[in-house]
Amino acid sequence: MTQNEFRRRRRQLMRMMGKDSIAILPAAGIKQRNNDVTYPYRPDSDFYYLTGFEEPEAVAVLIPGRKQGEYILFCREKDEEKERWDGPIAGQEGAVAEYAADDSFPIADLNEILPRMLEQCERVYYAMGCDPELDKNMSSWISQIRGKARSGVHTPQEFIALDHYLHDMRLYKSRSEIAVMRKAAKVSAAAHKRLMRECKPGMKEYQLEAAFLHECSRRGARQQAYSPIVGGGNNATVLHYVDNTDKLESKDLVLIDAGCELDYYASDITRTFPVGGTFSKPQAQLYQLVLDAQLAAIRQVKPGNAYNAPHKAAVRTLTRGLVRLGLLKGQLARLIREEKYKRFFMHGTGHWLGMDVHDVGDYKIDGHWRQLEPGMVLTIEPGLYIPLGSKGVAKKWQGIGIRIEDDILVTKTGHEVLSADAPKTITDIEAIMKT
């Protein structure tokens, strides 16, 4: 992402904020794993979206129309000794020269400088409840300012949730965001493809996980967007199975839900395939049904359609198929109305995708499903889950969990499947598993 893109985003946000306002965004904190070991640092998505700044201990401030500069970055001071251990620190000069801040101060001076900035503003855009430390400071700054009211100091009158504006911006992906997401999906698709080639009966689930991580890493995507799920047989019926420790059996399917993060953008792909390379008849029947539902849902992804149109299509196809296979009994419309399919398909058909795997952005506006628009990216991921021991269900269907998940960009004319490189038809999967 170029500095120009970050600048454009700040301008867009500041235009929405208007004069006499201030936005305050903290960087993510460092999380301690134990003693002096920390978790790998990942910038907060909102903060990074506006700044492109990857260091912790920073606060970004936007004040539209401020004469001395609209974008102020509080960050760490340069420290040669520390930099020898942990690598370069941008410091105040770097914040201005490399990150296009109009002005920069040491983070240690926040307490002294920020209240004076607050005094100049009517409206404060701030995401309360996300950073307890800054929340505490914020309320103490505001009460300090109130305390000075008699000496003519002005207190801001309005507090506005910053996340709402920002998240609406993040929902519409720019050309360069789409390029990164396309690349992330391609990396993950290549990794899924490799797993289809390498999977052999007797392997452990974590060996497939390891191959997935290796393939993403060697292609430059060294973080995952979430913990990979590799579930063989009945494990695939546990939606958030992440143990990945069991042996893969020839007779079973394996479900892999895994996606890398690239340059802070997520991919999220699920593929399900037979460990032994060939679908059994019941496996193929259920798999084809999920695939038909997924394709029906993807067809609904186009501008002007409601966000839940794909889900409705998936539910309809799945329910009809479940009746055909004898897993549900009754009249289609009624089964749908009474949500009987939920016994086997209990989650939504997708979610927004972006910097976060379950990305930000409202799904409804004024109580109505929002319309899909070009630039939005969402997943389409119907599934069927039939655990062992399911009462009243024929044995042949039990111990099968199937999900097929792709990443879909809404385009002007319809959609683009960003993850199309990962095979998903029965023919293509069986063919690639033979190679």
**Contact between 209 and ligand GLY (CB under 6 A)?**
no
Nearer to Mn ion, 103 or 268 (CB): 268
- Give CA–CA dist 260/221, Å, rounded: 6
**Contact between 206 and ligand GLY (CB under 6 A)?**
no
**Contact between 59 and ligand GLY (CB under 6 A)?**
no
Among positions 46, 209, 268, 407, the unique one binding ligand GLY when judged by CB under 6 A: 268
Q: Please report how close the Cβ of residue 129 comes to Mn ion at its closest, in angstroms.
A: 25
Q: Please report how close the Cβ of residue 235 comes to ligand GLY at its closest, in angstroms.
A: 15
Q: Which does 252 bind (CB under 5 to 8 A by kind): Mn ion, ligand GLY, none?
A: none
3-state DSSP assignment of residue 194: helix
- Give CA–CA dist 71/73, Å, rounded: 7
**Residue 415 catalytic?**
no
Nearer to Mn ion, 224 or 379 (CB): 379
Torsion from C-alpha of 426, 427, 428, 434, nearest 10 degrees: 100
The distance of Cα 286 from the centroid of its chain, to the nearest Å, equals 28
**Residue 194 catalytic?**
no
**Contact between 381 and ligand GLY (CB under 6 A)?**
yes
Q: Please report how close the Cβ of residue 270 comes to Mn ion at its closest, in angstroms.
A: 5
Residues 218-237 within binding reach of ligand GLY (CB under 6 A): 226
Nearer to Mn ion, 74 or 385 (CB): 385
Among positions 44, 131, 257, 407, the unique one binding ligand GLY when judged by CB under 6 A: 257
Query: What are the phi and psi torsion angles at 72 (to 5°)?
Result: -115, 130
- Binding string, residues 268-307; x marks residues near Mn ion by CB under 5 A: x---------------------------------------
- 424: closest CA among 195, 301, 270? 270
- Binding string, residues 98-137; x marks residues near Mn ion by CB under 5 A: ----------------------------------------
Residue with tokens 């069991």: 246
Q: Which of 9, 167, 182, 351 is catalytic?
A: 351
- Give CA–CA dist 268/261, Å, rounded: 9
Among positions 357, 376, 410, 433, the unique one binding ligand GLY when judged by CB under 6 A: 357
> Hey, which residues does 406 pair with through a beta bridge?
380
Burial of 220 (0-12, 13-18, 19+ CB in 10 A): exposed
Token reading at 31: 């999380």
Q: Which does 226 bind (CB under 5 to 8 A by kind): ligand GLY, Mn ion, none?
A: ligand GLY
Number of residues interacting with ligand GLY: please give it, by CB under 6 A. 7
Nearer to ligand GLY, 100 or 242 (CB): 242
- Give CA–CA dist 251/284, Å, rounded: 12
3-state DSSP assignment of residue 246: coil
> Hey, which residues does 59 pair with through a beta bridge?
26, 74
Stretch that binds Mn ion, among 55-63, 65-73, 168-176, 397-405 (CB under 5 A): 397-405
Q: List strand residue ranges (DSSP E) for 118-276, in order.
A: 123-126, 158-160, 223-224, 229-232, 253-258, 260-262, 265-266, 269-274
**Residue 36 catalytic?**
yes
Residue with tokens 């001076």: 109
Q: Which does 182 bind (CB under 5 to 8 A by kind): Mn ion, ligand GLY, none?
A: none
Token reading at 317: 């196809």
> Hey, which residues does 160 pair with through a beta bridge?
125
Question: Could you tell me what percentage of the chain is helix, strand and coil, using 3-state DSSP and rounding each to the nearest 5?
Answer: 40, 20, 40
**Residue 80 catalytic?**
no
Show the CA angle centred on residue 226, arms to residues 23 and 274, nearest 5°: 155
**Contact between 379 and Mn ion (CB under 5 A)?**
yes
- Give CA–CA dist 118/240, Å, rounded: 44
**Residue 347 catalytic?**
yes
Q: Please report how close the Cβ of residue 224 comes to ligand GLY at its closest, in angstroms.
A: 10
Q: Please report how close the Cβ of residue 168 comes to Mn ion at its closest, in angstroms.
A: 21
Q: Which residues are at the interface with Mn ion (CB under 5 A)?
A: 257, 268, 379, 405
Q: Which residues are at the interface with ligand GLY (CB under 6 A)?
A: 226, 257, 268, 351, 357, 381, 405
- The residues annotated as belonging to the active site are 36, 240, 257, 268, 347, 351, 358, 381, 385, 403, 405
